[in-house]
Amino acid sequence: MSQQSEDGKVLADIIKNVHRRLRQELKESGDSESSWINHCRNEDRLKEYAKSMHQLATEHWERLRESNPDTSRINWTWSFLSNYFLGNGCEIQRQKSKLYIDWPKLMFKDSKISVLDVGSCYNPFKEFKELDVLPVDLCPALESVYQCDFLTVPVGEKTFLEDQSVLSLASSSFHCVVFSFLLEYFPSCSQRWTCCEKAQQLLMEEGVLVIITPDSKAAHSNSKVMRSWREALEAIGLKRIKYEKLLHAHCMAFRKTSIDPPITSDDRQLLASKMYIPQDFHSQSDSEQEENDHIKFTEEEVAEGFTYLPMLND
């Protein structure tokens, strides 16, 4: 293994260890809110995570992106957005919906696509001049990215920014919300669900939520997870319109439509449980896992998920 590949492995291990500790803390406390608050107060851990993710993305994933562009989550997202908003992608989805109505014209400020990049780290989408990006992160790696705890930031009538921090985000104001390698960060289904509900509130009608989740296995290996997410999001008017399995990730785009009928509190709890990842079940014994009715993973599947981050290997 080359030195660069070894360095990439060290960085990925730092990131994965943070996720493991979060899951362990949730297991010990049983309270996702308190465990998240404690995590957000641990500035040393947050800064180490941000620095490692920044290095891994810019020094290792970028090399892979240059040598094999088809593996890039950044390229995939840009290709989708340019086709959907600047090409005929949106019109195709309107025709597929078979709703024969007068669709409103999509409005763009300064002819740019408004993007909220959640968990941005270092604002990788800044290179695309057609995008108006608001990059936010719990602990930004660069000063140009705004600090924001997406789980708790309020949604209101306007977006308020102050001293590189986000105080609130405006509802129905973004063409696109991006969750790239974000949802696996959270240790509970309910937190992932909160993020998705908030994204739905922030999107304009016909806007899109892009979710990219890492997985180096074949597409079918975690297909039940992706199917469960699709079912949950469809219930709140986010219909999946594109899916593609890259070498190291599942890439999905969900188009916002109206919700009918409204979601009840009981529905919300059930839907939140569908936002699981294999690591949620690490703590179960074999017998407990066999008794779990809504999901049955093999040992290899349970050990997979986010444990494989994209990196260069010899």
Annotated binding site: 119, 137
Taking the CA atoms of 212, 217, 220 and 223 in sequence, report the sign of the dihedral they define. negative
Give the tokens for residue 108: 């763009």
| Backbone Cα Rg of the chain | 19
Binding residues for S-adenosyl-L-methionine: 119, 137
Q: How far apart are CA 187 and CA 244, in angstroms?
A: 25
Q: How far apart are CA 58 and CA 54, in angstroms?
A: 6
Question: What number of helices (H) and strands (E) belong to the chain?
Answer: 11, 10
198 neighbors 137 (Cβ within 8 angstroms) = no
Closest CA to 222 of 293, 154, 298, 286: 298
Q: Helices (DSSP H) in the chain: which residue ranges? A: 3-29, 32-41, 43-55, 62-67, 73-81, 89-97, 189-202, 223-234, 265-273, 286-291, 299-302
